[in-house]
Amino acid sequence: MERKDYTLGVVLIFIGVMFFLLNLNVLTFNWLLLILGVALLIAYGFKRQTGYLAAGLILLGISIVSIIDEYTFTNVNIKGFVFLWIIGIVSLVMYSRHKTRGYLVFGCLLPAIGTYTLIDEMSYGDTAWVLFLFLAIALYIMYALEYKKLGIDWPRSLSIIMIVLSALFLLSSKTVIKFKFWKFISYLWPILLIVIGGRIIYNMNKTNE
């Protein structure tokens, strides 16, 4: 006898009950999102469908951030940090499922940027060098996980460039170097882009030979 799947019906009934409690003011909207997020993660545990996991993580992140804003008194805005980390984690889950490099790029870069936004919120000094450092780490992780085995070196090269830029920004913020830093950067970026573009074209031609 064919086994019947009642998952969709159960989910719809659950969502209906939650919104009914919302109308009765038993739950607030933030707690409703939290419960729905947890329910979707539980559903993922049974069904192993990526859609449940992605939706559950997103709802969980949004609800947690909103509840923190509602019940705590803080001058630190963590929404950007949490949202970018959630999207990054979902992207890494999708990468582990489908092995698509685009998901890996988002999964590595977004948490790096999110962490920087939190540090920038909590710091009173110049933190631009931290962004380049985190981007360097994210790029090298991308290289180690995927691009190294394919013989593609541009993430590693770009990671080294980001480390150099991080060091330059750090020295500039500490007034160790006093030359026209921003003018130097304005000349450096085009040169780096030309070098990277040339390296990519060279590697592609070498692969096709």
pTM of the model: 0.62
User: How far apart, in whole angstroms, are the C-alpha atoms of residue 123 and residue 192?
Assistant: 30
pLDDT higher than threshold 80 for residue 157: yes
How much is the average pLDDT of 3-16?
A: 66
Using a pLDDT cut of 70, give the percent of the chain over it: 78
User: Ramachandran region of residue 2, left (φ > 0), alpha (ψ -120 to 50) or beta?
Assistant: beta
* pLDDT tens-place string over residues 54-63: 777 777 777 7
CA distances from 179 to 83, 182, 184 (A): 38, 9, 8
**pLDDT surpasses 60 at 181:** no
Mean pLDDT of 84-112: 85
- Is 2 a residue whose pLDDT tops 50? no
Most confident listed range (88-97, 108-117, 195-204): 108-117
pLDDT of residue 31: 79
pLDDT in tens, 127-154: 878 888 999 999 999 999 888 888 888 8
Report pLDDT for 69.
67
How many Å separate Cα 57 from the centre of its chain?
13
